[in-house]
Amino acid sequence: MSLPQRNLNPVEPRIVVRGGIPLIGEVAVSGSKNASLAILAGALLAAKGETILRGLPRIGDVGTMAQVLQYLGVSTCFEDGGTTLRLNASVLVTDETPADLVTRMRASFWTLGPLLARLGSARIAQPGGCNIGARPIDLHIKGLSALGADIDQGFGSLTATAPNRLKGATVYLDFASVGATMNIMMAAALADGETIVENAAQEPDIEDLGNFLNAMGADISGHGTGVLTVRGVRQLHGAEYTVSTDRMEAGTLGIAAGITGGDVFLRGANAAHMRPITLKMREAGMLIEESPEGIRCVARTGRPQATNITASPHPGFPTDMQQAFTAMLCLADGVSLVTDNVYESRFHYLTELAKMGAHSTVNGRTAVITGVKRLTGADVDASDLRAGAAMVTAGLAAQGQTRVFKTEHLDRGYERLNEKLASLGAEIWREDEFGRRLDTPIATPEKLVSCSHA
Ligand code: EPZ
């Protein structure tokens, strides 16, 4: 029986990569997707005054979060081509976050804490799992309940009420959940008294959110460490803030240099935020030079070195980087073990890499990667955002042409990835569903250039 082959010209948009070109040059790193989404949710807490956010990445998810805020009553106005957002959250018109946006983008669930703190109630769809894991919300509920909220779940949605003001409490997180830490921190910011979160997530995105909330008048300390302390205040006001650069985008661009035998300077990359990633890059044989302006990533001569990765909460190796890094390990000289202790099923992309000649086996949370000397181009799907990054990364090194389908995932989280890679010498372009080459850069999503005065 012949294997089902993708028809020669599927009617689907795609990214096309011709591999084998070493990437050389300098590229600017955009703002952090995950910090931006958290900070946009945090802006809901400002009962008065304007907030101005700068350095936002021009990606679909930022546009979607702006839509969520507009729905809730926030006036938003993008400037500077979509990298600056002025917003005013002094008037909120509902406590309900639209279900279709929550299911489309999980980060919308981070409106729960701020709405509950600001309005005394919040209604939101349960985000559910996705193809990387069950992604439960029990720790969000544990934390908000500890602060005195009544949580009612049913029919796929959740209602949280706090008829009296939330009260500070001590919360222990059984897992250092990023989202739960964020929701609890934002809710505690307006609670009566002190909240301590033990085993809090330490990701740089948490640090960014805490810094932004403090700029709004909150009283938070320990953000970015395992013990977070929030002393509640009565009211928060708008603030100006510039988000940090995206360590996952920077890591992906650095790996693109490593897998192609290149030499790339990542302007604006934050060395401290990227330390778990760059330390593993060094173990894979890359030369990493850190400076206040950014990070230089130089490939090892010959094949990358095999090394083992264990994805775990920060300062562990980030789970959002294991996919692109594993693509490089597929070409390493030796066998590598990749374990993901954050999500229980985040290796689906390996079946796509196998089409390009990668050798791997998966046993529960660990994948065994046996390096091969070469990958060959193929038609592959991006099953999610980070899997898409792995496909493009592998395509940059593969012999021949790779076509990556389901490109909408990539546009959610990487700003103009094609253009950035092409500026480093990659032969990469987009084709529309009819196979016509699209040389113009992907326009900034129209949601990112609009003003909406609720
Ligand atoms: C955030 O998701 C990020 N999303 C994810 O990035 C990232 O992978 C993740 O943090 C971990 O770093 C955004 O920032 C928008 P979690 P989040 O709560 O908050 C357990 C990307 O590609 N858990 O830390 O949903 C559970 O095992 C995305 O940019 C509970 O047990 O992550 C889960 O697998 C993907 N109970 C693990 O924590 C809970 O209530 C990680 O979840 C919550 C989480």
pLDDT of residue 454: 52
Phi, psi of 104 (to 5 degrees): -75, -35
Of the pLDDT bands very low, low, confident and very high (cuts 50, 70, 90), residue 438 is confident
Rounded to the nearest whole angstrom, what is the distance from the C-alpha of residue 370 to the centroid of ligand 1?
A: 28
Residue 308 to residue 317: CA distance in whole angstroms: 11
CA 346 / ligand 1 centre spacing (Å)? 12
Q: Which numbered atom of ligand 1 lies nearest the CA of 133?
A: 34
The confidence score (pLDDT) of residue 134 equals: 82
180 lines ligand 1 (CB under 6 A): yes
φ, ψ dihedrals at 274, nearest 5°? -95, 0
Q: Which of 130, 297, 330, 451 is catalytic?
A: 130
For 65-75, the pLDDT digits (tens) are 999 999 999 99
Helices (H), strands (E): how many in the chain? 14, 27
Instruction: Determine the pLDDT at residue 1.
Output: 53
- In the chain, the percentage of residues whose pLDDT exceeds 90 is 87
Helix (H) or strand (E) holding 46: strand 46-48
Q: Which ligand 1 atom sits closest to the C-alpha of 343?
A: 34
- Binned at pLDDT 50, 70 and 90, residue 440 comes out as low
Reported as a single tens digit per residue, the pLDDT across 9-47 is: 678 999 999 999 999 999 999 999 999 999 999 999 999
What are the angstrom distances between the C-alpha of 226 and each of 47, 215, 255? 29, 21, 29
Q: Distances in Å between the alpha carbon of 436 and those of 186, 388, 401, 430?
A: 46, 21, 16, 8
Q: What are the pLDDT digits (tens) for 165-224? A: 999 999 999 999 999 999 999 999 999 999 999 999 999 999 999 999 999 999 999 999
Within 10 angstroms of residue 220's Cβ, the number of other Cβ atoms is 21
pLDDT, residue 102, reads: 87
**Residue carrying structure tokens 């400076």:** 291
Measured distance CA(337)–CA(453) in Å, rounded: 51
List the strands of the sheet with 194-198, edge to edge.
170-172, 194-198, 227-231, 219-221
- Residues of the chain with pLDDT > 70, as a percent, come to 95
| Contacts with 2 (C-beta within 8 Å, 6 or more apart), sequence order | none
Give the per-residue pLDDT at 7: 63
Q: What is the pLDDT of residue 443?
A: 53
Active site residue 330: no
Burial 363-383 (b: 16+ CB within 10 A, else e): eebbbebebbeebebbbbbbb
* Whether residue 446 has pLDDT greater than 70: no
Q: Write the residue with the smallest CA distance to atom 16 of ligand 1.
A: 177
Tell me if 314 CB under 6 Å of ligand 1: no
Determine if ligand 1 sits within 6 Å of the CB of residue 342: yes
pLDDT of residue 248: 98
So what's the pLDDT on residue 385? 93
pLDDT digit string (tens) for 80-121? 999 999 999 999 999 999 998 888 899 999 999 999 999 999
Q: Which numbered atom of ligand 1 lies nearest the CA of 34?
A: 14
Which pairing describes strands 194-198 and 170-172: parallel, antiparallel, or unpaired?
parallel
* Residue 384 φ/ψ, nearest 5 degrees: -160, -175
Atom of ligand 1 nearest to the CA of 139: 40
- The Å distance, Cα 207 to ligand 1 centre, comes to 16
When pLDDT is averaged across residues 156-169 and rounded to a whole number, the result is 95
- Cβ–ligand 1 contact at 247 (below 6 Å): no
Give the integer Cα–Cα distance in Å for 452 and 68. 12
How far apart are the CA of 323 and the centre of ligand 1, in A? Answer: 16
Instruction: Please tell me the predicted confidence (pLDDT) of residue 428.
Output: 97
**Measured distance CA(325)–CA(280) in Å, rounded:** 9
Whether the bond between 315 and the residue before it is cis, its omega within 30 degrees of 0, is yes
Among the listed residues 281, 287, 284, 218, the one whose alpha carbon sits nearest the alpha carbon of residue 251: 281
The 10s digit of each residue's pLDDT in 227-248 is: 999 999 999 999 999 999 999 9
- Across 364-389, average pLDDT: 96
**3-class SS of residue 37:** helix
Confirm or reject: Cβ of 177 under 6 Å from ligand 1.
yes
Nearest to 255 by CA among 385, 392, 423: 392
Q: Minimum mean pLDDT among 129-138, 324-333, 343-352: which range?
A: 129-138
Of 414, 437, 438, 417, nearest to 426 by C-alpha is 417
Residue with the smallest CA separation from ligand 1 atom 35 is 320
Does the pLDDT value for residue 400 go beyond 80?
yes
What rounded mean pLDDT belongs to the chain? 94
Check whether 308 has a pLDDT greater than 90: yes
* CA pair distance 333, 373, nearest whole angstrom: 8
Instruction: Please report the pLDDT score of residue 6 as a whole number.
Output: 60
Per-residue model confidence (pLDDT) at position 135: 86
Ligand 1 midpoint to CA 177 (Å): 6
Q: How far is the CA of 133 from the centre of ligand 1 (A)?
A: 9
Q: What is the mean pLDDT of residues 323-346?
A: 97
- For the Cβ of 315 lying below 6 angstroms from any atom of ligand 1, the answer is no
- Residue with CA closest to ligand 1 atom 37: 342
Q: Which of 328, 385, 379 is nearest to 16 (CA)?
A: 379
Sheet with 121-125: list strands edge to edge: 121-125, 157-161, 150-154
* 412 residue type, one letter: R
Predicted TM-score of the model (pTM): 0.96
